[in-house]
Amino acid sequence: MLKKNPITLFGSFQSFQPEAFFIRKYVEGLIRSGYRVNIREKKGKDHDSDFPIKKPFTDIIVIKTPPDGIEIGFVEPKDFPKVKGGKKGIFFFVEAVPAPRTWIDGANKHFDFCVVPSKFVKTIAERSGISIPIEIIPYTPAEHKETKPRADGIFRFKSIATPDKRRNIPFMIHAFMELFFENENLELVIKTFPNSKHGKVRHWEEDVEELKNNYGMYGNVKIVDEVYNDDQMIGFLDDADCYIQVSSAEGMGLFIFEAVKRGIPVIATDYGAHTDYLKGSYVPVEYEMDWVKGHYHGKEDFPALVAKPGWESYKKALSEMYNNYLKTKK
């Protein structure tokens, strides 16, 4: 249905918020896959007129959706009623079951259909109570040449992680430090996002300043929280020797897709949307399932089922990745 007709996407696209970046990349993937897409910008606290937008977005911005048109909302429940059109949909990329009741009840009430990026998310949506039809549209990364080796001789593990608890940033660092403390021949570089005191970016569950203070003293751990534009975000991957994503859950796994497309080795929790499409393309980290409260940014005080990556499995993946690299240098 959606590929045969023009669709309008409603949400905050012109924004420095991390969610807006992921949405823009997903929209680019829709266009690459042949969807005819327009954008209706949601003006609100996340909208930032100073954010630089470029093609293809400058060419597809519209003021309104035709009364009989199709519109898909990339919005939270409070904005569900603002989605317009003759046929209305909601983009859904939650990553843990059960999803918040406000999302489920609102989606079933306000929308005709739901769009998800993977079978993984479809299963979560259905188990959480979504009763409207669900269409799977996976993320389509751009074509990239494989990254070239650098001349500095430093092996770089890299990760892009919002400072949510589910991203497991301290876990990622602690295991690295146990293996490679003060090893000057390799680095762990984490691109994260600033807390609210840095300006317009909201507060997160992890205190980024505390992370920087705790780990920034070590020469081979770097935490980057500057606000990047889209080109800088994607360019961050270009000198990675290995990309790490040891989240408790991934609804899309965008940067796992991007790293694999570049030929960058990936270490990832073997749980999430990426497992639908990339099995065999990454080094899997074993996990155990566990119930935790406050998974969805602490907004709802009920347990959600998530994956807890295994400490020894993750350390083994790090060690083998670096040792394999050393073998190629002999």
The full set of domain ranges for the chain reads: 2-136, 155-329
Q: How far is the C-alpha of 256 from the C-alpha of 321, rounded, in Å?
A: 16
From residue 154, how far is each of 161, 162, 201, 239 by CA, in Å? 22, 25, 32, 10
Computed from CA positions of residues 139, 89, 297, 235, in that sequence, does the dihedral angle turn out positive or negative?
positive
Q: What is the reported pLDDT for 197?
A: 47
Per the CB < 8 A criterion, the answer to whether 88 and 68 are in contact is: no
Q: What is the reported pLDDT for 300?
A: 53
Q: Can you give the pLDDT of all 330 residues of the chain as single tens digits?
A: 688 889 999 998 888 888 888 889 999 999 999 999 999 999 877 788 888 778 788 788 888 888 899 999 999 999 999 999 999 999 998 888 888 889 999 999 999 999 999 999 999 999 999 999 999 999 988 877 665 556 678 999 999 998 888 899 999 999 999 999 889 999 999 999 876 644 455 555 778 888 888 887 778 999 998 888 888 888 899 889 999 999 998 888 899 999 999 899 999 999 999 999 888 899 999 999 998 876 665 555 678 899 999 999 999 999 999 999 887 765
HSE toward the beta carbon, residue 202, CA cutoff 13 A: 13
Q: How far is the C-alpha of 113 from the C-alpha of 277, rounded, in Å?
A: 23
Q: How far is the C-alpha of 258 from the C-alpha of 266, rounded, in Å?
A: 10
* Assigned fold of 2-136: Rossmann fold (3.40.50)
**DSSP-derived pairing of the beta strands 287-293 and 303-309:** antiparallel
Q: What is the reported pLDDT for 204?
A: 58
- Looking at domain 155-329, its CATH architecture is 3-Layer(aba) Sandwich (3.40)
